Amino acid sequence: MLPLMPTTAREDLFLRCSDLQLRVKNLERELDEFKSGKRYLKLQEDHRLVVAGYIKEIQRLKSELAKANARTVTVRNLWSEECEEIWKDHQSTVEEKNREIDRLKDKIWEIYMKCDEKVDTITEDYENRLSEKEAIIRELKAHLAHYEALLGRDSTNTGLPTSQTPIGKKKHIPNGRRNTGKKKGGQPGHEKHKLERPSAEEVTDEKDHTLNSDDTCPRCGSDDLRFTGEYEEKYEIDIEVKIKKTLHKYWLYECGECGEILRTGIEPWHRAECQYGPVLQAFALSMMNTANAAMNKVPLMISGMTNGEVMPSEGYVAKLQPRAAKGLDFFYDDLERNVITRIILYWDDTVVMADGKRICLRFYGDEKTAYYVAHEKKDMNGVIEDGILDALTEDTKVMHDHSSINYNPRFVFKNIECNAHLQRDLQKSADDTGHEALLEIKDLITKAIKDRNDLIMAGKTEYEPGYIEQFEDKLSELLEKARALANENRSRYSGPPERAVINRIKKYHDNYFAWMKDFSLPTTNNLSERALRGVKTKMKVSGQFASAKTANYYAKIRTYVETCRRNGINEMLALIRLCRGNPYTVEEIYSADSQ
């Protein structure tokens, strides 16, 4: 037996069967109507009724058309010549109005086109003027940033001396010493230093201090004060200017054979009947060339020290310079030959004014030697004329402030660059641009120098293994970072200097950082800068350089005085010997230092 279907399925099947049976019956009935003709007759009747409706509608439309034709005939019959004229006038007016409308449309279109062109012109002009204004604003902003950077110049980012720090700005005092955290002044337990009293043999004067006749006892007021014979010793060290007026007698002798009169040899500085002595001359030279006193102030100082009894003229003081310089010709040439034998040589130059013109004063030297020379121009010709750099060998190291002259192929010495100038350039560019990468490079160099100084103090001669490699890797990373920022800097003020300092570090890397591998090499050219610092002061005082020739007088005297001082020879003694016509020789100066 087949299984029984679910109740719901059976009901659905039953309904579907009933529906099909009903449709079959309807179809059978229609088939019977077609066979008998009833279906055809019904369709024919329906068609007839539709056609009759169309015929009726056609008849209605014909009737309305006939009525309309009749009205048209009536209107035509009523149309007169007067109406014809009115119609023509109306048509003419309409045509004229249409033409006026067309003309106005053309005028409107023409005005619209002109307005459109004018709007385009005004818009273009506005955009051009706006672009110009924006360019001016950018330029003014660049100017403002440039001037703000100029106001920010000091000794930390340029070679500006601390004495020229702008008013209102904190003065930067260069000091390489570490901060110990201790208070200023003497420290607890530190031995107190005082002026040592002279020995009994050194005492030149004694002065007794006794009571006055009207002095009384401060305790009871009695005037009965008795002398005990005891005293307290207090010493005073002072100076006294003593005027010496010496008579020099050069005796005459007669030859017993021929009667010829002979005279003892007169010293060169005693040729005139009366002249100033070498001490006074040395003092005047020291004031002009070391203290940078004005030429017209030197006689006043001498007059003040001698209570007006001695006062040389300004003309006499002016003549001392060329006379002293001439007396140093042999010393000057001899020292030049000594300079070229130095293993490490520092050099720098600066521009000074002479009679309204710019001249150059140059320094060569080291810790024991100071050689100055003046030229009319600061150029390669002057360096060649000096004959010093040309004479140096491959073993000589020359420290300088990135002078491109030093890299001329004619020179064979090794260049080392000043890191102090490099750090100031980095600080300057960082102040102008705000790029921190430049300060990071500066801090990296500063730390390496401090670490080197600590190692030198500890007796070491090189960095710890791996230190230099870490430094180089960090420096390369920071340079790439700085280069990317510099390439984006479009300022005509700060952009070129920033890119220049980055490219310079890259190109002259070995010259800047040679001190990392050789602790005997210096890191800065401060020795040359200090040597030239007084030159700027000299330029500002009365009796300044009149020409490159007079500047050379100063250069020779400074060469002599500074070299003596660097080797432990008293400046006044050196100048007194010079004024007596017997200056120290180069050999004497260096032999005195070795003793």
Condensed to tens digits (0 to 9), the pLDDT of residues 504-520 reads 999 999 999 999 999 99
The answer on pLDDT for 594 being more than 60 is no
Q: What is the distance between the alpha carbons of residues 560 and 578, in angstroms, rounded to a whole number?
A: 9
pLDDT band at 321 (very low <50, low <70, confident <90, very high): very high
Tokens of 118: 């004018």
**Given 76, 95, 114, which residue is the final one in a domain?**
76
Average the pLDDT over each of 2-6, 39-43, 412-416, 499-503 and give the range with the smallest value: 2-6
Q: Provide the pLDDT for residue 225.
A: 84
- Give the β-pairing of 344-354 and 261-263: unpaired
Q: Provide the pLDDT for residue 165.
A: 63
**Given 53, 76, 99, which residue is the final one in a domain?**
76
The answer on pLDDT for 245 being more than 70 is yes
Q: Provide the pLDDT for residue 391.
A: 94
Question: Any long-range contacts for 295-300 (C-beta under 8 Å, 24+ apart)?
Answer: 295/541, 295/542, 295/543, 296/542, 296/543, 297/542
The answer on pLDDT for 8 being more than 90 is no
Single out the residue of 405, 402, 398, 397 nearest to residue 377, CA to CA.
405
pLDDT band at 104 (very low <50, low <70, confident <90, very high): confident
- Residue 143 in domain: no
The answer on pLDDT for 151 being more than 70 is no
Tokens of 233: 């010793």
Q: What is the distance between the alpha carbons of residues 328 and 578, in angstroms, rounded to a whole number?
A: 8
Report how far apart the first and last C-alpha atoms of the chain are (Å, whole number): 143
Q: Provide the pLDDT for residue 186.
A: 65
Q: If you average pLDDT over residues 572-581, what whole number do you get?
A: 94
Could you give the strand order of the β-sheet that contains 397-400, starting from the edge strand earlier in sequence? 370-375, 357-365, 344-354, 397-400, 414-417
Q: What is the distance between the alpha carbons of residues 535 and 541, in angstroms, rounded to a whole number?
A: 11
The answer on pLDDT for 179 being more than 80 is no
Determine what percent of the chain is predicted with pLDDT higher than 90.
44
Tokens of 208: 């007794």
Question: Any long-range contacts for 408-413 (C-beta under 8 Å, 24+ apart)?
Answer: 408/380, 413/345, 413/389
In tens, the pLDDT along 534-556 reads 887 777 775 567 888 888 999 99
Angle (CA) 32 33 34, round 5°: 90
Q: If you average pLDDT over residues 234-260, what whole number do you get?
A: 88
Q: What is the distance between the alpha carbons of residues 512 and 401, in angstroms, rounded to a whole number?
A: 10
Q: Provide the pLDDT for residue 366.
A: 95
- Residue 218 in domain: no
pLDDT band at 370 (very low <50, low <70, confident <90, very high): very high
- Residue 401 in domain: yes
pLDDT band at 1 (very low <50, low <70, confident <90, very high): very low
Instruction: Tell which wins on pLDDT, 269 or 288.
Output: 288
CB atoms within 10 A of CB 587: 10
Q: What is the distance between the alpha carbons of residues 176 and 172, in angstroms, rounded to a whole number?
A: 12
Tokens of 24: 């079959």
Q: Is 239 helix (H, G, I), strand (E, B) or coil?
A: coil
Q: Provide the pLDDT for residue 123.
A: 76
- Residue 419 in domain: yes
Question: Any long-range contacts for 402-408 (C-beta under 8 Å, 24+ apart)?
Answer: 402/504, 402/508, 405/380, 408/380
Single out the residue of 500, 506, 502 nearest to residue 482, CA to CA.
502
Instruction: Tell which wins on pLDDT, 424 or 121.
Output: 424
What are 359's strand-pairing partners?
A: 352
The answer on pLDDT for 265 being more than 60 is yes
The answer on pLDDT for 421 being more than 50 is yes
Alpha helices in 4-37 (DSSP H): 7-36
HSE at residue 395, side-chain half, CA atoms within 13 A, is 4
- Residue 233 in domain: no
Q: If you average pLDDT over residues 63-85, what whole number do you get?
A: 67
Q: Provide the pLDDT for residue 372.
A: 96
In tens, the pLDDT along 447-456 reads 999 999 999 9
**Domain containing 35: what range?**
11-76
The answer on pLDDT for 558 being more than 90 is yes
Mean pLDDT of the chain: 84
Instruction: Tell which wins on pLDDT, 503 or 51.
Output: 503
pTM: 0.70
Question: Can you state the percent helix, strand and coil of the chain, rounding each to 5?
Answer: 55, 5, 35
Number of domains the chain is built from? 2
Alpha helices in 434-466 (DSSP H): 436-457
pLDDT band at 576 (very low <50, low <70, confident <90, very high): very high
Instruction: Tell which wins on pLDDT, 574 or 55.
Output: 574
Q: What is the distance between the alpha carbons of residues 132 and 246, in angstroms, rounded to a whole number?
A: 83
The answer on pLDDT for 19 being more than 80 is no
Highest mean pLDDT among 127-131, 210-214, 432-436: 432-436
- Residue 158 in domain: no
- Residue 35 in domain: yes
Q: If you average pLDDT over residues 292-315, what whole number do you get?
A: 91
Distances 283 to 31, 247, 293, 542, 572 between C-alpha atoms, Å:
155, 21, 11, 18, 7
Q: Provide the pLDDT for residue 2.
A: 43
Q: If you average pLDDT over residues 351-379, what whole number do you get?
A: 91
Instruction: Tell which wins on pLDDT, 457 or 19.
Output: 457
**Given 36, 54, 76, which residue is the final one in a domain?**
76
- Residue 94 in domain: no
Burial class (CB in 10 A: 0-12, 13-18, 19+), 441: buried
Number of H helices and number of E strands within the chain? 17, 7
Q: Provide the pLDDT for residue 249.
A: 87
Q: If you average pLDDT over residues 218-229, what whole number do you get?
A: 86
